[in-house]
Structure 1
Amino acid sequence: MSKILVVDDMPLMRHVLINMLRSLGYKDVIEATDGLQALSLLRTQHVDLVITDLYMPKMNGIDLLNNIRKDQRLSSTPVIMVTCEDQASAIKKIIKAKVSGFIVKPFNMNVLNSQLSRFFFSDISP
């Protein structure tokens, strides 16, 4: 079973995302409130995928992504960025940082499932 880390400073958004993941059959989900907490968790536990918000206090999603890509042990971890950002310059910066996928807010379970299916094939419930 795949372990997913959900990173968002808004408790409601984390709750919605975690419930969607569980509905899709992903039971092993952990959460962090910002990039710093996420990085700490990533360094102590194995995680198969990170789903992170872009804008957060302490350490935002792009800084978290850059830290993951710079860390030899974590560099291959897939990272999906969740954002309401639609500015081309910001999107290019995220792509340059080697993001694995995007989810644009607002989104539904089908959008989330299609992003997850790019990384997990056998875990998805019918």
Structure 2
Amino acid sequence: MKILVVDDMPLMRHVLINMLRKLEYCNIVEATDGLQALALLRDQHFDLVITDLHMPKMDGVDLLTNIRKDTALADIPVLMVTCEDSTDKVKQVIAAKVSGFIIKPFNMNVLSSQLNRFFFKD
């Protein structure tokens, strides 16, 4: 399984990637914002996108919207990582057809249960 991790904060990417590796997901690519992620998605095959909501250049909602409207990418599951508690923002993400949420702060058990909703490890 190939996973794209998108977050503008290097520490958050590092923590998430380490958790994924401990869960035996090793084929991981990083992106620093939605624009970079979209370019990678159009160039490579990914089985899952885990993205932060708030990022510069292109945020998680815009990335998700772009993924869902591209027929080649539309079926990729997208997990949104956020500490957002605004009802309006959460409704916006749901309307954009997010596959799941991970609320910060989270631990490896939360991540594992979200991943298990979609996939079994290779």
TM-score category (smaller protein) = over 0.9
Q: Which residue of 1 aligns with 2:110?
A: 111
Q: CA deviation at 1:88?
A: 1.1
After superposition, the C-alpha distances for 1:42-67 in whole angstroms (9 at most, x for unaligned) are: 00000000000000000000000000
1:15-58 CA-partner distances (Å, limit 9, x unpaired) = 00000000000000000000000000000000000000000000
Aligned residues between the structures? 122
SS of 2:76 mapped into structure 1: coil
Instruction: Specify every segment of 5 or more residues in structure 1 that has no aligned partner in the other structure, as ranges.
Output: none
> TM-score, length-normalised on structure 2?
0.98
Shift of 1:14: 0.2
In the alignment, which residue of structure 1 is the partner of 2:44? 45
User: Counterpart of 2:74 in structure 1: which amino acid?
Assistant: S
Letter in 1 for 2:24: G
Matches within 5 A, 1:23-42: 23-42=22-41
1:82 aligned residue: 81
CA distance in 1, matches of 2:22, 2:5: 15
Deviation readout 1:60-102 (Å, 9 max, x if unpaired): 0000000000000000000000000011111110000000000
Q: Give ranges in structure 2 of 5+ residues lacking alignment.
A: none
Partner of 2:17: 18
Residue in 2 that maps onto 1:70: 69
Name the CA distance, whole Å, in 2 between partners of 1:46 and 1:26.
16
Instruction: Give the 4+ runs in structure 1 shifted more than 3 A.
Output: none
Letter in 1 for 2:41: L
Sequence identity (%): 73
